[in-house]
Structure formats: structure tokens, C-alpha cells
Amino acid sequence: MNNNKLKTIIFLSLIPSLAMANAGSPMMWFGILHSLVLNLLIGIYESEYLEKKEIPNKMWLIVIGNYFSMIVGLYFIAPYFSSITGNIDFWGGKTRFGDYNLTGFIFGMLASFISTLILEFPFYYLSVKNKTKRKNGVGKYIFANTISNTVMFLIYLMIIFRGSK
């Protein structure tokens, strides 16, 4: 490697430091992973769970409902309700380690979970192929949604717990 290439590599690697740009918080990065990949897996899980409980459904509608509720819940509702209790930095991008408001996080995630049940319900309802099974499957829909939301809540909690107060 010649000297100019080495200087260029060093200069480019220092630009984020000069701009004081960091790579974001673990909460932000996991939120991006959740947005892009995990939500698809959650939708597939919920659809398959309903299938096992003899509620035939259109998986694509369950998946779309999951993406819709995740965008509204995690990017609007959770930060808003978290800020009501004093956590104005839900995603943890500006909060110092050890200063993250855990009460705000829990309140925001609880509000997000309730909204998820409401926002995803029309997608569930329309996805059920057998119209006579729609009412019978509501409890199963709520159960599947509760399981997936609990798992995601626990993962997010593990990410922020050590840096919280």
C-alpha cells in the first residue's frame, strides 16, 4: 500500500471523530433491525400461530399489519408517552450512560403495546379467510400479539437496563 492510500484511509476514518458523529445507540440500531427484519419474522410467527390454532389467514396481511403498528407504535406513540413521564430521549441517542429514564421507557412501551393491539386488529380481521372464525380467533390473535410484544419488550429492556436509572 502506498503512502497516499494510507493517508486517505486514515483521513476518512477520522472524519466521524472530527464531526463528533457517533454510530448511534444500541437502542437505535436494534430499532433499525426490528424495523427491517424482525418485524417480518414476528408477522410470520403470529400468522403461523393462528394457523396452528385453526384460524386460516392471509400471512401477508398479518405482516403488513405488524409493520404498520410497529412504525406508529415505536416511532410515534412510545416516544410520545415516554416523554410524558420525563424520558425525552426514548431512543437513547443523547442520554448519557446511566441516565436513561426506565419509567418513561416502560410507560412508552406499554402505550405502544396497547396501540399495537388496536392498529393490527383490522389487518387480523381482514386476514382471516373463514369469516365465521374471525370472532373465535380474537383471543388467539391477542395471545400471539402479547407473546411477540413481550419478547420484543424484554429484548429492548435488556439493551437499556444497565444504562438506566
pLDDT tens profile 18-31:
444 455 566 666 67
pLDDT for res 59: 96
Angle at 26 between CA 43 and CA 32, to 5 degrees: 35
* CA proximity to 165, closest of 96, 92, 101: 101
**44-48 mean pLDDT:** 94
Q: Is residue 66 part of a domain?
A: yes
CA distances from 73 to 22, 78, 79, 89, 149 (A): 26, 6, 9, 15, 11
For the cut 90, the answer to whether the pLDDT of residue 45 exceeds it is yes
Give the pLDDT band (50/70/90) at residue 57: very high
Angle at 66 between CA 93 and CA 51, to 5 degrees: 145
Cell representation of residue 3: 503512502
Q: Total structural domains in the chain?
A: 1
- d(C-alpha 152, C-alpha 145), whole Å: 11
pLDDT for res 19: 46
**42-48 mean pLDDT:** 93
Write down the residue that cell numbers 404498520 correspond to: 68
Q: Is residue 9 part of a domain?
A: no
Least confident of 8-17, 88-97, 142-151: 8-17
Q: Is residue 10 part of a domain?
A: no
The more confidently predicted of residues 60 and 85 is 60
pLDDT for res 66: 93
- d(C-alpha 33, C-alpha 120), whole Å: 20
**145-161 mean pLDDT:** 87
Phi, psi of 154 (to 5 degrees): -65, -35
- d(C-alpha 56, C-alpha 91), whole Å: 37
How much is the pTM?
A: 0.77
Who contacts 132 (Cβ-Cβ below 8 Å, separation ≥6)?
none
pLDDT for res 133: 86
Residue-range definition of the domain harbouring residue 47: 22-161
**45-71 mean pLDDT:** 94
